[in-house]
Structure 1
């Protein structure tokens, strides 16, 4: 689908890119001119950002939601709608209620389903598919409260579009999508990410994670509003190639690929990493649970028989820690592997200041936020070649380790150490490449800029049609 001013192009890697058309005339769809489209750029643009999970004091999805919403807000006149649990963090960050954000309180439903998920998940840091499934049910109540709170303002045309940023999971459907369509208000969805299949030779790890529900994950397409959510979205953003591949074919001409995670160069300043050919310091950052693969990294260090002195700093904590500590002792690596426990994000740069490499041995990683933060700092990523992290690097910025099973993954990391032993200058080159790649492609500001471009594309095709339907649904 091409519109004057912007063209959607599919690259050889399968990405859908929004390409500026320098010799543009008018945005032809619905007769909207390029000048009209530019009215929706910058601070004059009024998006409603639905960000159920958004919190600068937490990690994972809430931190993604916060960072992306704030970056978009810095470019537009956005209003953020978030869940009541985030109110305190928003206030501490200096945001003003009603001006910058609104609170939606569906805690009666969300809290009850969260307690149920804690009961059925099978242990702390386990059964994440079950947790996501129950959270997706709670999200219906969240959108109902959004509609109740903002229905009249939506009908009155206050917002140019609505963008649901979180939940990130494709299993969370939108009850609002068809209602917004009737009002002529464009609905943007994403980045969506999740559902990456378990590698077939890691079913034992899946069992340890008590992830039984992933075996029937495809049933989420039977959830209410699954088809309507995708059919009525003006644009869908995929956070990974796998999620992109799950979009129905009918969505192809309005689907975009923008990775879920990003990094803040101010918080993660670049430091050139060099290697003397003798001492290699490796960082591991993540929860200590089976699928993250810290045990396989430890085994790879034990298996490496070359002259390098390798030490590993494990940052993170979790139920597998005692098992990992026993493994270190059994393999005689007490002087080579250290456990730092949890480290606050603000302290991460200092914690890894002496490291040259980040090892990401996770066998089922959706996003890869820790990888981007490490690259931003100048660490060289060595990643398992499956899922999100492998999509973030190229040959100039990291090393991807192909694998079929546990043994090939361990051997792959050991061989990566051997490669650095033979070619010590690669550390400096890859360090520079990693830092440059993040700043060129994967900052929150870059992501927000790409999304605002999608807004302009959407409004160029939909805004002129809105006047004919704006009054529809007064009684809804």
Structure 2
């Protein structure tokens, strides 16, 4: 039995984004039969974990760092103007305040780490590679392996979308690479036993001398219980297109509307937009100006548990976001057998393959629209192109990206740093299509 101290500052099953990713990772790892894990999280997550059935001080410990965390969050909100933008600012402030949280962890668990009560320490969140860790050095001195990750972030803004960057209030993204000058940046990578890297962009940020410690494991995953349904309709005209995401400039809902306008106008397609945000009124006006208001349905924001039904009822998931770190929404579509059409850039490029979906290249807004339009027309003329990819999309999502599969991948990293396997785990970067490799089954057989 491997005893693991699982650190996830953001870890909440009732939230989305990073807190849900943190929860999903640690919950899957702690359920492995040969892992004895204790979760350490921030006190704001306490009630959610109790409601999930975890026992305080047995399954998890909540660390109260609100003395620093609460005013920091308020400061970030003020700098963002209360909007759902400026996430680089939020990350920067969290990075500066996070060391206090780790200091409290060391006060609580330092003696247990030093006396060998844990076989290894694994910090799951923060996901951002900008946040250094003092625990890495302290664990190394105690001869306890420290595993970091999955780390993900730093997808460059495409130069063609600088205006969108400014509309998103991403002022700090212009100087984001300065995080490498922060105290502890290189020491964290030097002292960690393994770095789980969530994307190729993050891999490129790792200094060459530390890459031998890196294992590629994307951050996002699929909960088969949340996405247990399957798309079982046969695609036909009018083709049912769906966009799912925040209605903000870089997600690209406006490009979907313009690219699909001719098909919608001729009743060869209809479009459902699921999500809300500051761009909604602009998008509604765009649809009306194009004369397709009756063929575009704005659903608004829906609970996470209701997302599946919208995906199952659709034929093609169109999501031309130009800056996705993880792209979990594409995995959610693939999990129910819904084929995605995405821009080959950032995290989406590592999830969607030619066998499981359709991709277009990054470019200017108009260039992306000009690429989307013929793909949509081709699929509308021959909906069987969807059906030939649906099963492969479902299989790829479940074999590589279910949380259970990812927990097994993480366990192989544990085995490696503990000397229980000689070779570093390597499943390829990005993961290959399932039919072309036996690695997913090999990982499963090692369970």
What is the TM-score with the length of structure 2 in the denominator?
0.91
C-alpha displacement of 1:421: 2.6
Measure, in 2, the Cα distance between the counterparts of 1:266 and 1:305. Answer: 34
C-alpha displacement of 1:183: 0.4
1:47 matched to 2:4? The reply is yes
1:74 matched to 2:31? The reply is yes
Measure, in 1, the Cα distance between the counterparts of 2:3 and 2:153. Answer: 29
Measure, in 1, the Cα distance between the counterparts of 2:264 and 2:63. Answer: 57
Query: Counterpart of 2:46?
Result: 87
Query: Counterpart of 1:190?
Result: 149
Deviations 1:256-311 (A, max 9, x none): 11111011222212424554442211111111111111111111112558966211
Measure, in 2, the Cα distance between the counterparts of 1:255 and 1:270. Answer: 35
C-alpha displacement of 1:122: 3.9
CA contact (8 A) 1:284 1:294 kept: yes
CA contact (8 A) 1:313 1:339 kept: yes
**What runs of 5+ residues in structure 2 fail to find an aligned partner?**
423-447
Measure, in 1, the Cα distance between the counterparts of 2:392 and 2:266. Answer: 26
C-alpha displacement of 1:431: 1.0
C-alpha displacement of 1:445: 0.5
CA contact (8 A) 2:261 2:292 kept: yes
Deviations 1:441-473 (A, max 9, x none): 11100100000011001000799xxxxxxxxxx
Pairing 1:208-287 to 2, within 5 Å after superposition: 208-287=167-246
C-alpha displacement of 1:88: 0.6
Query: Counterpart of 2:370?
Result: 411
Q: Secondary structure, in 3 states, of the residue corresponding to 1:358?
A: strand
1:180 to 104, 115, 139: 139
1:153 matched to 2:104? The reply is no
> Which is worse superposed, 274-283 or 48-57?
274-283
CA contact (8 A) 1:306 1:418 kept: no
Pairing 1:19-418 to 2, within 5 Å after superposition: 44-75=1-32, 76-304=35-263, 309-418=268-377
C-alpha displacement of 1:350: 1.9
C-alpha displacement of 1:422: 3.6
Question: Relative CO higher for 1 or 2, CA cutoff 8 Å, sep ≥ 6?
Answer: 1
Query: Counterpart of 1:459?
Result: 418
Measure, in 2, the Cα distance between the counterparts of 1:68 and 1:305. Answer: 40
Measure, in 2, the Cα distance between the counterparts of 1:238 and 1:139. Answer: 20
Deviations 1:81-122 (A, max 9, x none): 000110010010010001100011111101111111111124
**What runs of 5+ residues in structure 1 fail to find an aligned partner?**
1-43, 464-476
Pairing 1:460-475 to 2, within 5 Å after superposition: 460=419
Larger radius of gyration: 1
C-alpha displacement of 1:369: 0.7
- Count of residues in Structure 1 that have an aligned counterpart in Structure 2: 420
C-alpha displacement of 1:412: 1.7
What is the TM-score with the length of structure 1 in the denominator?
0.86
CA contact (8 A) 2:335 2:397 kept: yes
| Distance verdict in 2 for CA 1:201–1:303, change over 3 Å | farther
Q: Secondary structure, in 3 states, of the residue corresponding to 1:460?
A: coil
Measure, in 1, the Cα distance between the counterparts of 2:178 and 2:366. Answer: 33
Q: Secondary structure, in 3 states, of the residue corresponding to 2:147?
A: strand
Measure, in 2, the Cα distance between the counterparts of 1:217 and 1:139. Answer: 17
> Which is worse superposed, 323-332 or 125-134?
323-332
Q: Secondary structure, in 3 states, of the residue corresponding to 1:77?
A: strand
Q: CA RMSD in A?
A: 1.6
